[in-house]
Structure 1
Amino acid sequence: MTVDGVRLEVGVATDRAGRATNEDTALALRGVYVVADGMGGHEAGEVASGMAIETVRALVGTTPDLETVRATLRAAHARLRDLPSSTGRRPGTTMTGVILTEHEDLPCWIVLNVGDSRTYRMAGGVLEQVTRDHSEVAELVASGVVAAEEASRYPRRHVVTRVLGGGASEVDPDLWMFPVSPGDRMLVCSDGLTDELTDARIEAALRATPDPQDAADRLVGEALAAGGADNITAVVVDATLARS
């Protein structure tokens, strides 16, 4: 795919792993690359992630600004808030991802995040987490209460503090915009991947696997081999200069 002078190549892989169903939903289409990880019981989780992705689908093929993306995520939140709850726990979902857009005639990424799924950028072979986890343990690490090296063993590490849907009446998504650099490799993934693989291992897999579909498949396969018990989804997006 080519958009605004940037050629994109994409790979998508997902696996329900140790779960009965897959509550992750991914969208990788015409400039929009997002992953949602549903919660609220398996049926509600699937519905929540699917509905959120369907709402964001309105951005496909457009070049939105930050406020348009923010409004779209808030619309998804409102739709999920209207879903019925059969368990007393409101359905909700995380969502993270990257959207290709244009700003002042430059191709740019918009990275979005609500929850503890993650978006990474690899440039020059170095992987960096762009998003910040909206989770109890991330907040405790940031405040110095829990040491970073203890975070993976913290008993409430899966408690998220911000979601689409759920109990909060409003949502404040995190958004970033920055220029696309030729050679950017973006990774969008659910926490089923990052629960099993360290950033160093993810970086090594991405560096060793040039094709984005092979890279996505490899990441999911390595997470499964490491004992993955949660749904695992990886979307790998490569950007190169388009040839005229």
Structure 2
Amino acid sequence: MRTLNEDALLAHPPVFLVADGMGGHEAGDVASRLAVEEFARLAGLSAVDPADLHACFRRAAQRIRATFERREGGTTVSGVALGEHEGAAHWLVFNVGDSRVYRWADGELAQLTVDHSVVQELVDSGSLTRAAAERHPERHVLTRALGTGADPEPDYWTLPARPGDRMLVCSDGVSGELAPEEIADVLATSAGSGAAAAELVRRAVGAGGRDNATAVVVDAQVLADGAGGWLAFGAEDADRTWDETVDGATIPRPRSHQEDSR
């Protein structure tokens, strides 16, 4: 139902994210694009750490504030990146705003991020039930967003990355239209990550499409040679390793940033 798409996405290892801009024409779409441009600096690294991600948040916030000195412009940013801890692959989940990250694993769907919204605060305080929150008139009012405050205040989580993990990053145009049970059904039954993302957007639009709908789905697998316990990521088909889907590139054991910069 929207005439302007204010969503933007990044899907290039080791970073996968969705940004949902705010501020209307020539504001929200620009803010989300600026955020993606900053995080795209990490594309091609073997792994990142929270400091890398926070530096992207700070630079993006500075650019957004400089661009919209006299206008309202901001964006949500939610995503997942590949990190390393004691030689094992880990997910670094990050969020500011109400876009979301989910994980489908072992037959269960888990929402990994917590919305930064007025309604979420009411739910956390016990003043509002989860069912009532879905219909609350202020469910889209945010308490945090990138570019609207003095400093970015993202949340971070770290958890082990395991073969079989299917990660979903989406804007509220998806999560606001589809119940968790329907999201779980799509992630459980879609043969490939690309097919899952397309089906989620299709269903969100079919359910009403009241907001821009963006989904990024990432599948984790063991590399063919099992090198270092690291994982391959299927961008299109769950039965393919990353080296078969993106320019012959694999994800090796992480190098240092000094090695990556040469």
TM norm structure 2? 0.83
* Cα deviation 1:99-155 (Å, max 9, x = unaligned): 112222111111110000000011112110000000000011100111111001111
- Once the two structures are superposed, residues 157-187 of structure 1 have per-residue CA deviations (whole angstroms, 9 ceiling, x without a partner) of 1001111111x11121101111111100000
Corresponding residue number in structure 2 for 1:120: 102
| Whole-angstrom distance in 2 between the partners of 1:127 and 1:51 | 31
Is residue 243 from structure 1 mapped to residue 243 from structure 2 by the alignment? no
1:91 is matched with: 73
Q: Distance in 1 between matches of 2:185 and 2:67?
A: 41
Distance in 2 of aligned mates of 1:129 and 1:237:
15
CA–CA separation in structure 1 for the residues paired with 2:116 and 2:44: 29
In the aligned structure 2, how far is the partner of 1:125 from the partner of 1:60?
A: 30
Instruction: Report runs of 4+ in structure 1 exceeding 4 Å deviation.
Output: none
From 207, 222, 228, give the equivalent of 2:188: 207
Partner of 1:58: 41
Q: Which amino acid aligns with 1:211?
A: G
Asked if 1 retains the 8 angstrom alpha-carbon contact of 2:9 and 2:18, the reply is yes
Alignment of 1:163-182 (within 5 A): 163-166=145-148, 168-182=149-163
CA RMSD in angstroms comes to 1.1
Residue aligning to 2:135? 153
Separation in structure 1 between the aligned mates of residue 54 and residue 98 of structure 2, nearest angstrom: 18
Mark the structure with the bigger radius of gyration. 2
Q: Distance in 1 between matches of 2:34 and 2:59?
A: 11
Normalised TM-score (structure 1): 0.89
Equivalent in the alignment of 1:71: 55
1:82 aligns with 2:63: no
Q: How many pairs are equivalent?
A: 224
**Structure 2, gaps ≥5 residues long:** 226-262
- Whichever residue aligns with residue 122 of structure 1, its letter is W
1:81 deviates by 1.2
| Equivalence for 1:184 | 165
Q: In structure 1, the residue corresponding to 2:178 is in which secondary structure? A: coil
Structure 1 residues not aligned, in runs of 5+: 1-17
Bigger relative contact order, structure 1 or 2, given CA contacts below 8 A and separation 6+? 1
For 1:9, the equivalent position in structure 2 comes to none
Partner of 2:93: 111
* 1:38 maps onto 2:21 in alignment: yes
**Bigger strand fraction:** 1
